[in-house]
Amino acid sequence: MNILVTNDDGINAKGLRSLVNELSKIADVYIIAPEGERSANSHHITISGRIRYELVEVENAKKAYAVWGTPADCVHGGIRHFIKDKIDLIVSGINRGPNLSSDIIYSGTIAAAREGYLQGIPSMAVSLCDFEAKDYELAAVYARQIALKYLEIKDNTHYFISVNIPNNDDIKGILICDKVVNINYRDEYVEEIEDGKNYINIKGIDRIIDYDKNDLRIDLSAIEANYISISPLANMHISRNHIDSIKILEK
């Protein structure tokens, strides 16, 4: 079995290295990851031009490339150019910090798994819900276990999965979460002038979330209750919830 590993924290991130060490127990692991952090790049992809890359040595990886591109670039190029063997699974992560609810729109980690899904390959994104985490080994074990079960599921290319893992030793279990909520960020924009040029200095202040903490079908609630949340995601479906109300736009 061949697994392609990528991320948005960069090829030297602890989360990626722990993930590779664990997945190498069940498969040949290839790495194609950004050379540095590409967080919040969403599904940015290079459609024309050159992308620099470098072959690097990474323990327990069959082959590893550092790419001066986005996470989606890594998967897109990995499948079409870098790896000649059939890829059985794509795993993006382990991300430093959560990717929950509406944050999946911005996430490069999620986008890498989404690109795999668009190419018809079972794909999963894995995030550890702690920006200050020092140890990713337990999360990597959970990722390996979930990956093996995910590969056994019929029609697993009809969607991809986002896995979020609490950073503690008291995890109660795994929940499938099919509800998301909007996370609204409040930022401060400060005008600055330097060398006669205008800049805006953006400073994050806080975030505003309104959700039912007792509803464990919401990924945020599941994480707060110390469950691993798994959300099945896809973006190739037309929303039919508002077809009637939007009919007014027809001519």
Smallest CA-to-CA distance from 10 within 72, 70, 88 is with: 70
Query: How many whole angstroms separate alpha carbon 221 and alpha carbon 219?
Result: 5
Domains and CATH numbers, the chain: 2-178+213-236 (3.40.1210.10)
Q: pLDDT at position 203, please?
A: 85
Element (H, E) at 20: helix 14-23
- CA 218, 160, 114, 66 torsion: positive or negative? positive
CA 66 – CA 54 distance, rounded (Å): 5
The per-residue pLDDT for 18 is 98
Q: What is the pTM of this model?
A: 0.91
Residue 177 C-beta-side C-alpha neighbours within 13 Å? 31
30 DSSP β-pair partners: 4, 63
* 89-96 vs 53-56, strand pairing mode: unpaired
What is the pLDDT at residue 236?
67
Residues with pLDDT less than 70, the chain = 236-240, 251
pLDDT of amino acid 185: 85
For residue 176, the model assigns a pLDDT of 96
Separation in Å, CA 69 to CA 32, 119, 179: 10, 18, 31
User: In 3D, which of 57, 11, 17, 12 has the Cα closest to residue 32?
Assistant: 11
User: pLDDT tens digits, residue range 141-189?
Assistant: 999 999 999 999 999 999 999 999 999 889 999 999 999 899 988 888 9
Mark out the alpha helices in 89-161 (DSSP H runs). Answer: 108-118, 137-152
